[in-house]
Amino acid sequence: MRSKLGNLEIGALRVPGKQRRQGLAMESTQKKSSDSRVRKGDRTKQIFALVSMVGFAGSAIFGIVSLFSSGLSSQHQQKPVAAAVSQESLLAAQERGYETVLGREPQNQTALEGLANVRLQMNNKVGAIEPLQKLVKLNPDRADYKVLLGQVKK
């Protein structure tokens, strides 16, 4: 409530007009300093977020570039000799696999045919004769097995 002298009465306490204006000025100064602290805190958060994003993007780009560069350099370093060795080792592994199956199932026609084909690819004509003979015994009506066996024996 206000009186004629510009005093403000709060409860039982009377505050003169001049002191009231000083109190409002102090509140406004405190509010400004509080706002500036909040803005400084926000600015710090923004800077931290920006630095984090730049760091993340940089590490991702570095990883991708190194991945592609290592892939390209490894392609140029491969030699055709390595491909030939790997082809021979692949055929040898297939031969062992077919022999393992035939150890358990000596009448397995798929394994017999695969073993004969692998040995022919390895230029092992003598080794291909045995599985071809078994295939001809198991399938006397298949002319292709007989023809292939005849070609290998020559």
| Range 132-147 average pLDDT | 91
| Burial environment of residue 52 by CB neighbours within 10 A (0 to 12, 13 to 18, 19 or more) | exposed
Distance from C-alpha of 77 to C-alpha of 129, rounded to nearest angstrom: 40
The domain ranges of the chain are: 80-153
Please report the pLDDT score of residue 67 as a whole number: 79
Residue 3 carries which DSSP code? -
Mean pLDDT of 87-111: 91
36 Cβ contact list (under 8 Å, min separation 6):
none
Sign of CA dihedral 133, 134, 139, 144: negative
Q: What is the mean predicted confidence (pLDDT) over 81-98?
A: 80
What would the CATH number be for the domain defined by 80-153? 1.25.40.10
In this prediction, residue 110 carries a pLDDT of: 92
Question: What integer pLDDT is reported at residue 69 of this predicted model?
Answer: 77
pLDDT category at 100 given cuts 50, 70, 90 is very high
**Of the given ranges (14-23, 114-123, 133-142, 143-152), which has the lowest mean pLDDT?**
14-23
User: What confidence category does residue 57 fall into, taking pLDDT thresholds of 50, 70 and 90?
Assistant: confident
N-terminal to C-terminal alpha carbon distance within the chain = 126
User: Which are the contacts of 83, defined by CB distance < 8 A and separation ≥ 6?
Assistant: none
Q: Model pTM?
A: 0.46
Which of 66-93 are b and which e, b meaning 16 or more Cβ less than 10 Å from the residue's Cβ? eeeeeeeeeeeeeeeeeeeeeeeeebee
